[in-house]
Chain A
Amino acid sequence: MSGEAASIPEDLTVTAIHEVAIAALSATIVGIVIAVALTARSRRTLSRSHAQARASAAAEEQRKIEALQHLVNVRLPSQALHLRSAHYPVPGLGDTSLSGTEFAALLDSVQELFAKVVLEERHRVDAAARAALRGAFMEIQAKSYQLQTDLDTLQQTCEDEETLKNYFRLDHLNEQLARLVQKGAIVAGSWPGLVRSDTHLPDLVTGATSRLHGFERIHLHSKLRTDTVGVVGRAAEPIAVACTELLANALESSRADLSVEVTLLQTDNGAVCIQIDDAGKGMTTEEASRAAQLLAGRQQVLLTELGDPPALGFAAIGQLVADHGFQVTVDQASPYSGVRAIITIPPALVTSIDPHTAPLSAMSPLPAPAPRAPRRAITSDDPGAASPDSGVLPQRHRRGRRVPGLEERAVPGGRPPEPEQARNTWDAFEQGIAAGRAGTPSDIRNEDRT
């Protein structure tokens, strides 16, 4: 109201003000328009860059999600398979644009943690399974040995042939049972379950054959030069177990009408070898390398790695090899196209046993006949013996018809010769050597050489 009253007397001023105001207003308007225009422009650019940023963030998010999906769907399952079987490949980060970022490192650590947890858990479960098996097997083993003792006692007194055969059958079944249980117990981390005294090697291998179904197919040959070769007590049962398992493989991998040849050998470095040849199909390269790995006994074997049903034989041998220091190889081919398995018993585990105080079992293989040759020559010089004329060449005799002098010497049971007889023998031997040396002129020897 007061503005209207004042505007009438000051017309000019008002007009001028008006113009100024209009000018100012227009200027302001222009400014505003310009500002608005500018703002709009900057807002446009701003929103455009915002959109770009948003788009790239979304893309990265998408890549991360995809990498995460790759981890969950591909990498972790592959890792699980890889832990089960080492030749299964484990893929890395799927999208290489993420490599080197913190996110990729996080994903890797997830995978590592996953592998670690799976392995730890597997070992824990395996140890629990082994403990359970060990406990059960060892108890069954103890009962089986009690049964063995009882059956053996019954056999000592049994006179009836049919009953005896029944006892034999039961005894053999029990031996097979004891072998299976003992093998399982050893893989489960137990010791062989019994201690032996020093044992003749032929007895040990004969005992090993008795634990198998089809032992009649095993032919045992001894090429030992003496009948004193023994295995020290602490290694006796472990070597028997290893031998049993190798024999079992040989029997299983060859046809039921083929024999398995076992040879006992001595080597020059004091070691003794048990050589087992079968005529089966042999092993593939993979089987052989797997066997060599298990037989070396260097690593802890998991029950879950032994297949279904678990193949315990080589794993048990590996355990015994690691504990007792003998060697087992199966990497050679036998002369009959199968596998040649060799147990090498180092000199530290070999001992000498007097066969007079601890005689060999009647079921052990007879010693090789070769070393008897020089003895026969000596007995022909015996004054009491009805020896062939000295002019006749030495002849090979059949087993059944011996020189009578020899018969008297070879008392059943392998009693040592009488002292007087031994003295005479040595006398004759030394005289013979002296006569031989004195009677050979040097020129003849020289002629022989040229």
Chain B
Amino acid sequence: MSQGQGRRLVPSYLAPGGSSASTRNSLQALTVLIATGLPAKPHHTPAQQRLLDLTAKGSLTVAESAGYLRLPMGVCKMLASQLVDDGYLMARTPLSGIPDGIRTPGAGRPPKSLLERVRDGLLTAL
């Protein structure tokens, strides 16, 4: 996304690649994504690989991922639901909360800068 820097250069439709298999759209902004441990494959687009990289370090909500990847929320949901369908990610609905066994980056007390970046990501996407 190159807002404020002139015209857009890289469009969002490159993120999910050519695959257009319909996926179940049950993900929400606060759904937590957890890596299943399957490594990224060469056929994954860079955006998918980046999402897998992000979640490999712990778990992240869809909204946070969208912020880190600087992608619109809808696009990030599309990416995540593809990876969930293919078994690379697990999705947990916000109600169940974050299980104890799963580490989040800066577990328990997220640093201020991270919260600011999440806020920025949300503001960009919403």
Contact = CB atoms under 8 A, between A and B. Distances in A.
A148 B40 contact: no
Interface residues of B, number: 51
Contacts of B69: 362
Given A210-B11, A362-B46, 14 more contacts: A155-B75, A156-B72, A172-B13, A210-B10, A210-B13, A240-B9, A359-B70, A361-B2, A363-B10, A363-B47, A400-B37, A400-B38, A412-B105, A413-B68
Contacts of A375: none
Contacts of A407: 57
B119 interface: no
19 contacts: A149-B8, A152-B8, A152-B11, A155-B75, A156-B124, A157-B126, A162-B22, A168-B13, A171-B11, A197-B5, A203-B9, A206-B9, A210-B14, A240-B9, A362-B70, A365-B46, A412-B54, A412-B60, A413-B68
A110 interface: no
Interface string B35-59: 1011110000111011001101100
A424 B94 CA distance: 39
Pick from A157, A165, A215, A413 the residue with the most CB of B within 10 Å: A413
A194 B2 CA distance: 14
Contact of A158 (B49, B56, B68, B74): B74
A165 B72 CA distance: 13
Given A412-B68, A415-B113, A363 B14 contact: yes
Interface of B: 1-2, 5-15, 17-18, 20, 22-23, 25, 35, 37-40, 45-47, 49-50, 53-54, 56-57, 60, 68-75, 77-78, 81, 105, 113, 117, 124-126
A172 B70 CA distance: 20
Interface of A: 145, 148-149, 152, 155-162, 164-165, 168-169, 171-172, 175, 194-197, 199, 203-204, 206-207, 209-210, 215-216, 240, 358-359, 361-366, 398-400, 402, 407, 410-413, 415
Contact of B9 (A169, A172, A199, A359): A199
A215 B14 contact: yes
